[in-house]
Amino acid sequence: MRHILAGARIFDGAQLLDDHVLVLEDELVAAILPVSQAAEPTMIVDGVIAPGFLDLQVNGGGGLMVDGHSDLAALRVICETHRRLGCAGVLPTLITDTPQATARVIAAGVEAAGAAVPGFLGLHLEGPHLDPRRKGAHDPALVRPMGAEDLARLCEAARALPVLMVTLAPESASPQQIAALAGAGAIVSLGHSDCDFETARAAYAAGARCATHLFNAMSQMGHRSPGMVGAVLAGDAFAGLIADAIHVHPAAMKAALAARPHGIFLVSDCMAFAGTDLTQMTLNGRPVLRRDARLTLPDGTLAGADLRLDQAIATLIGQVGIAPERALAMAMSEPARAVGLSDRFGLLAPGRAAELILLDHDFALRGVWTRDGWAPPLPG
């Protein structure tokens, strides 16, 4: 089937194009052409057509968390929920849990990869090898240093999954363990750490190449002690950012993005609430409350984010002052680069799958492309 979509601005992953059409053939991008060179359009669209988002930190969705009960069916629900929220791909993320829960989630992830679940990119294991001083909403009873069995399990998972991201603190894993994980193909991301600048730099030298939710749950930047934040901003590692203006102040985001022209990408850090109207859920036996666009434990500790990536883009543009092209790329081509999937995601180009979303002129999500045309996104 052939479609010629006209009327909208087109973001190709790098630039916003006006007065162009997008040509689709059999669910593939066939061409992006100036209007003057195109045939009669088959569909007039108002807004911005862009590649689907990639979200590398998705703790749940559709009423389900990634946890020790997650199986293939649960991962399908979570991935489908996020596809209807505009994501072409996600990394379902397990928050600190037991070795048994970790093994079960890895097994489910391997099964999801074998079943080619739409939108499943791999897994993100956030913990349990963290610094309890920077635990955030993670259960301190489950936080622990990495042992030999943990390392073997993670290396095996990295070899079995298309993508495995592992968030750890350098205090809880040695440079040798980090090097082994990187050598097995895992993307080692530093986070939930109180380490100093030098320790973070040593972890990056050992093979770590990302940071989890920049500024949050990590040692902050001081003028004499730059901490992990300083190591990220002075280096070239990728870093996720929760751009809800709650987890990070707009002024801090502006400074970070000025320091790092490339490599920072958006994450939702969403929970089971995503795609639902739920107001409460449970995390490791503790209630998480959804109030006023915040997710918190009863004591007020932030527990993930009530955020969609289109909202994060709007925050960057409206409150931080970032150019629309860069804000869009931070939800599309930058995360694709971070996990080595730029050949499949983040760009619109001939031969690419037509994983498209439609945004309005304020960059709010309005549609997700399907075989039958534009489907409305899920609320919430």
Residues noted as catalytic: 269
Token digits for 221? 């930047």
Q: Rounded distance, CA 348 to CA 336, Å?
A: 13
Each as own residue / partner, the long-range contacts of residues 29-34 (CB below 8 Å, 24 or more positions apart, any chain) are 29/348, 29/349, 29/350, 29/351, 29/352, 29/353, 29/354, 30/2, 30/350, 31/350, 32/348, 32/349
Taking CA atoms, 33 is separated from 19, 79, 272, in Å, by: 9, 32, 40
Report the greatest alpha carbon distance in the chain: 64
- The DSSP result for 353-372, as a single string, is B--EEEE-TT--EEEEEETT
Token digits for 20? 């162009």
SS3 (DSSP) at 93? strand
Q: Number of helices (H) and strands (E), helices first, in the chain?
A: 10, 23
Beta bridge partners of residue 211, listed in sequence order: 190, 239
φ/ψ of 210, rounded to 5, equals -155, 170
